[in-house]
Amino acid sequence: MEQLDFFSGLPSDDSERNEYLELVKKLNHFAELYYSKDEPEISDYEYDSMNNRLKQIEKEHPDWVVPESPSVRVGWKAEKGVLVKHNVPMLSLQDVFTKEEVYEFVESMRKEFGEEAEFLVETKIDGLSMALRYEEGELRLAVTRGDGINEGEDVTMNARQIPDVVKQMKEPVPYIEIRGEVYMTRKAFENVNAKAEEEGKKTFANPRNCAAGTLRQIDTRITKERGLSLFIFNIQETRGITFNTHLEGYEYLKRNGVKVIENCYKCSTADEVWDAITRIGNMRGELEYDIDGAVVKLNNLSERTKLGNTIKFPRWAIAYKYPPEVKETRLLDVEVNTGRTGRVTPVAIFEPVSLCGTMVSRATLHNQDFIDQLGLGIGDTILVYKSGEIIPKVKGVNENKRPADWKPYRMPDSCPVCGHMLVRDEGGVDFKCVNMMCPGTLVNRLVNFVSRDCMDIKGFGTEYIRKLTEEGYIKDIADVFELKDKRAELIEGKLLGLEKNTDKLLAAIEEARTVTPADKVLAGLGIPGVGKATAKELIRTFGSIDAIGEAGRDALLAVQDIGDISAEGIYNFFHDEGNMILMTRLKSLGLNFARTDNETLGSSLAGLTFCITGTLEGMSRSEAEKLIESYGGKPVSSVSKKTSYLLMGADAGSKERKARELGVPIISIEDLKRMAESGQDQ
> Phi/psi of residue 531, each to 5°?
-95, -160
Q: Are strands 431-433 and 343-355 parallel, antiparallel or unpaired?
A: antiparallel
CA–CA distance, 676 with 673 (Å, rounded to integer): 5
Task: List the catalytic residue out of 59, 124, 626, 642.
Answer: 124
> How far is Cα 101 from Cα 235, in angstroms, rounded to an integer?
26
Q: Cα–Cα distance between 509 and 487 in angstroms, integer?
A: 13
Instruction: Determine the Cα–Cα distance for residues 189 and 289; give it in Å rounded to an integer.
Output: 10
Contact 296, 121 (CB under 8 A): yes
HSE value, Cβ hemisphere, 13 Å, CA-based, for 412: 18
Q: Note if 484 is an active site residue.
A: no
Helix axes 44-60, 15-35, angle to 10 degrees: 140
| 137 φ/ψ sector (left φ>0, alpha ψ -120 to 50, else beta) | left
**Cβ(141)–Cβ(133) below 8 Å:** yes
CA angle 302, 308, 311 (to 5 degrees): 160
Cα of first residue to Cα of last residue in the chain, in angstroms, is 17
**Pairwise CA distance, residues 130 & 225, whole Å:** 19
Cβ–Cβ under 8 Å, residues 324 and 385: yes
Q: DSSP code of 101?
A: H
| Cα gap 681→604, rounded to integer Å | 9
- For residues 243 and 249, what is the distance between their CA atoms, to the nearest angstrom? 6
DSSP-derived pairing of the beta strands 264-267 and 291-298 = unpaired
**Left (φ > 0), alpha (ψ -120 to 50) or beta: where does 114 sit?**
left
How many degrees, rounded to 5, is the angle at CA 607 between CA 606 and CA 612? Answer: 90
**Quick one: which of 72, 60, 232, 65 has its CA closest to 148?**
72
Q: What's the rounded Cα separation, in Å, for the pair 641 and 476?
A: 39
CA distances from 599 to 80, 454, 606, 627, 661 (A): 39, 21, 15, 11, 37
User: What is the spatial distance between Cα 240 and Cα 175, in angstroms, rounded to a whole number?
Assistant: 7
Distance CA 267, CA 299 (A): 9
Chain centre to alpha carbon of residue 442: 24
* Among 38, 146, 176, 167, residue whose Cα is nearest residue 82: 146
| Beta-sheet pairing, 645-648 with 666-667 | parallel
Q: Report yes or no: 593 and 518 within 8 Å, Cβ to Cβ.
A: yes
Long-range own/partner contacts, residues 33-42 (CB < 8 A, 24 or more apart): 34/76, 34/209, 35/75, 35/76, 36/76, 36/77, 36/79, 36/653, 38/204, 38/209, 38/210, 38/212, 38/213, 38/216, 39/205, 39/209, 40/205, 40/206, 40/209, 40/388
Among 567, 666, 496, 657, smallest CA distance to 24 is for 657
Identify the CA nearest to 677 among candidates 617, 633, 639, 647. Answer: 633
3-state secondary structure (DSSP) of residue 118: coil
Catalytic site residues? 124
